[in-house]
Structure 1
């Protein structure tokens, strides 16, 4: 199986002479979770799934500790991990306190050998990028309310099936309904559900 790409329009140039050029972008084939990766490695090596899970936990713990100490960490032929921080801009060094500077994220830079090994055939996608269905906001709301008349709660996955919105847009809209007071949110992580506001 080869990776696939499609072309997207990207505005270029100044505001007065803006034109849209087509640039290639990878089309995601999906997400491989940790369990799948461990199972594949276990089948092609002498390591048991338990060995691999234990090693991964130790790698994660040690990586985190070194990043917290300000180190850049090289992980084999995969690449380099380094911490990033955030803080407000100031004109004078005395205007900022250390408590207002926090860790932001982790940067990753791929190893040269890993980048070389990625070279291979790319195919033009026949389906292109997935896009949210063109269902109007009023219709999405109508479908949501109708669904909640027959069901106590709705999940993000169910809302995606109901409206055609992709994952991030569906979740953002459900959270907007919470902010607007239409819905209440219950649970966390994979058990996150949305229910009709009991005060309505």
Structure 2
């Protein structure tokens, strides 16, 4: 398997010329939802689907519990989740308050297994004609939104 990308024209607004350049954008073939993930773990782990779902639900609840108190949560070779935020810069130290905090987020740092996988995976250019007929490239929202979501709703995000 390989990561796929498409070439897109992008306008860069940070320079005076508003230069248009071409960049590679990741192309996600499908978004694997929670049900699909549970089914796959059931197949490879020989564990009943209900048990897999219970364990993953418990993991998500535990991640939330620990991150709500500001803890980083390490899942060994899988990686580490940690809560974070951005902050508007201020001229004076006293002006930095909770109100100046913005963009609360959860940062995932991959562990050794994911780092090794992403370094070794091949990368292929996708024909633009195929990209237009299948789905659209990821715009930072977790995928194209096609495939695997038979329930109609959005799958739970374990990082949220």
What TM-score, normalized to structure 2? Answer: 0.66
Structure 2's unaligned 5+ residue stretches are: 137-143, 146-151, 154-160
Cα RMSD of the aligned pairs, angstroms, is 3.1
Paired residues in the alignment total: 134
Alignment partner, residue 124 of structure 2: 123
Alignment partner, residue 91 of structure 1: 91
Cα distance in 2 for residues equivalent to 1:69 and 1:121: 39
Give deviations 1:106-157, integer Å, cap 9, x for gaps: 11122243122132233221223556xxxxxxxxxxxxxxxxxxxxxxxxxx
Structure 1's unaligned 5+ residue stretches are: 132-165, 168-188, 191-200
What are the residue-to-residue correspondences of 1:73-92 with 2, within 5 Å?
Answer: 73-86=73-86, 89-92=89-92
Return the offset for 1:20: 3.3
Cα distance in 2 for residues equivalent to 1:66 and 1:43: 30
What TM-score, normalized to structure 1? Answer: 0.54
Q: Secondary structure at the match of 1:44?
A: helix
Give deviations 1:56-97, integer Å, cap 9, x for gaps: 111111111221222221223222211123555443343455
Q: Secondary structure at the match of 1:128?
A: helix
Contact 1:83 1:103 survives alignment (8 Å):
no
- Structure 1 residue 21 and structure 2 residue 10: aligned? no
Greater relative contact order (CA < 8 Å, ≥ 6 in sequence): 2
- Structure that is richer in helix per residue: 1
